Amino acid sequence: MKNQDYLFYQNVGQRIRSERIKQGLSQAELADKASLSLPVISTIENGRSTMWLITFAKIALALQVDPNDLLVLKTPASNTSSTNELEKIFDGCTPSERESIIKVLKEARNIIDLKNGAE
């Protein structure tokens, strides 16, 4: 698992733990409400493993929270300026030109990922 993936699961686990504590539930109570085992809840909250989508859904349902609140997949403000720059680049482009630009960006991203993986 990549470091950023590990951090993602740690953050989700921390949000689950925070919500559970906010609601006054023990790990065992959450496990019972979600029809999961106590070790599964513990492992998830501590970010020590990935989880199946169904497991995540059971936890969100048991906590009665919007899954997005546990994921917090919001675009950071810093990405807004990047998005605006991309919109400017794409403005006035034909579909074919857009496709070519996207291919170039994807290839650049692959090169960056390969370089970072080698470090």
User: What's the token pair of residue 112?
Assistant: 């960056």
What pLDDT does 37 receive? 96
Cα–Cα dist 46/9, whole Å? 9
Do residues 48 and 7 touch, judged by C-beta distance below 8 A?
Answer: no
What pLDDT does 75 receive? 47
> For the chain, how are helix, strand and coil distributed in percent, rounded to 5?
75, 0, 25
What pLDDT does 20 receive? 94
pLDDT tens for each residue of the chain, 119 residues long: 677 788 889 999 999 999 999 999 999 999 999 999 999 999 999 988 889 999 999 999 999 999 988 987 654 554 566 677 888 888 888 889 988 988 998 898 888 888 887 65
Give the class (CATH, top level) of 3-71.
mainly alpha
| Domain layout of the chain by residue ranges | 3-71, 77-118
In this structure, the chain runs to a length of 119
Cα–Cα dist 67/73, whole Å? 10
What pLDDT does 49 receive? 84
What pLDDT does 76 receive? 53
Residue 73, Cβ neighbours under 10 Å: how many? 8
